[in-house]
Amino acid sequence: MTAYPERVLQQAYAWMRGHPRAADGMLGLLLFAAGVGQLPTPEPLSTARGVAVNLLLAATVTVRRQIPVAAFCGAAIVVSFQLAFGLGSGSVPGMAPGVTDFAIVILLYTLAAYRARRTSVAGLVVCLLGAVVAIARYAPLHGPNAGVILLLSIAAVGVTLLAAWVLGDSAAYRKTYYVSLEQRLAAAERTSDLEAKRARAVDESAARLRRIERDLHDGAQVRLAALAMALGEIKENLAQADTDPDTLKLLGGAHQNAKDTLTELRDLARGIHPPVLDRGLGEALAMLAETSAIPVALTVDIAERPSPAIEAIAYFCTAELLANAAKHSGARNIQVSVQDSGSAPLALAVTDDGAGGARVAPRGGLAGLLERVQTVDGQLTVDSPPGGPTTITIELPRHA
């Protein structure tokens, strides 16, 4: 259990973090009260002068976060008047430095924490010069046997100012670091969210394409096949009944158009989503290898089926690469391998012994494949020296 004093301190710190202006106001009020309590003379004019000086210094602390440079400059001007008229022989009563002058240390810290280092270094130099002037004009430090006190004063003032600047500068660095860290974490979270949304969109798109293919296969193709059969039967019946040749010719054309449309519709359905993919990527690639114009040696080693969207991308990429090889490479043999080693990406490699020289050109076939692969953060590499062989490797995640 957390001790009561510790809980109070934590709550007070949290309140100050949440109410910076109120905290600065309380700090300024505290400095003002401490400074007024140090006023040594009951003379009204001296007291008023001392109250005004302390009030000005306390006021600079209350606005230190809003206008740190202006607050520091204001405090530096007040302190310079104190050094000029409040120290040494002929000093003005009520102008001597006191506890409220600690405001300059607080403002130096604020300057280092909230402004560029160049600005805060200039403030540190001003403070050190002011300290030198104060020590030089403070008479008790220059009396007999005052060497040790003088050295201790120099060390104390110098260490205090340097510590304030270092703490403020490190606070600025930490603030910048944590802001950058929060931005990176937010960017990583947004990236993860976008990747999840993209994966859902890709999977939904693949499922929608499968539904379209099934609808075409089970609906339009069936009706079109029935229409083609009916036209064929009508054509045969009319031919046996000695119908007008022109009518038979028109009917024959309609029958042929129905069969051609059925063939095109089947090709379109396979292009949307080949039904063989429902049995797995291995069997789908085996069918591609059987129908290839160039002999294909196929090797498939998949421990676990990837998502349907990834299988579809791998299938269509292989079909495109086989078509390109048959059209452009002049190859006599093609090797296709698909490997899946646990958590590693799905690796698809297509190698032909053709002329080589393949490259990813704008608006070319490989450029289209690269765009398709990159939709799921995949990679495509081409190794095709002149004279061959050509090896195109595609790496795909197991899930979109």
Q: 115 and 65 in one domain? A: yes
Digit-coded pLDDT (tens) for 215-267: 666 666 677 777 777 777 777 777 777 667 777 777 777 777 777 777 777 76
Q: 106 and 76 in one domain? A: yes
* pLDDT for the residue numbered 1: 46
Digit-coded pLDDT (tens) for 55-107: 999 999 999 989 999 999 999 999 998 888 877 767 777 788 888 889 999 99
Residue 169 lies in a domain: no
Q: 319 and 227 in one domain? A: no
Tally of domains within the chain: 3
387 DSSP 8-state letter = T
Nearest to 123 by CA among 60, 58, 195, 192: 60
Q: 224 and 289 in one domain? A: no
Peptide bond between residue 389 and the one before it cis (omega within 30 degrees of 0): yes
d(CA 74, CA 367): 65
Residue 139 has pLDDT above 80, yes or no: no
Digit-coded pLDDT (tens) for 1-29: 456 667 777 787 777 778 888 888 898 89
d(CA 150, CA 102): 19
Q: 293 and 383 in one domain? A: yes
Among candidate residues 256, 272, 288, the one where a domain is terminated: 272
* pLDDT for the residue numbered 163: 92
Strand order in the sheet with 379-383: 296-302, 334-340, 346-352, 390-396, 379-383
Percent of the chain residues past pLDDT 70, beyond the cut: 84
Q: 214 and 300 in one domain? A: no
Q: 212 and 335 in one domain? A: no
Q: Are 397 and 378 in contact (CB under 8 A)?
A: yes
34-53 exposure pattern, b = at least 16 Cβ within 10 A, e = fewer: ebbeebeeeeeebbebbeeb
Q: 265 and 337 in one domain? A: no
Among candidate residues 229, 245, 272, the one where a domain is terminated: 272
Among candidate residues 239, 272, 305, the one where a domain is terminated: 272
Residue 193 lies in a domain: no
> What mean pLDDT comes out for the span 44-64?
88
The mean pLDDT value of the chain amounts to 81
d(CA 331, CA 317): 18
Q: Which domain holds residue 60?
A: 4-142
pTM across the whole model: 0.49
User: Exposed, middle or buried, 297 (CB in 10 Å: 0-12/13-18/19+)?
Assistant: exposed
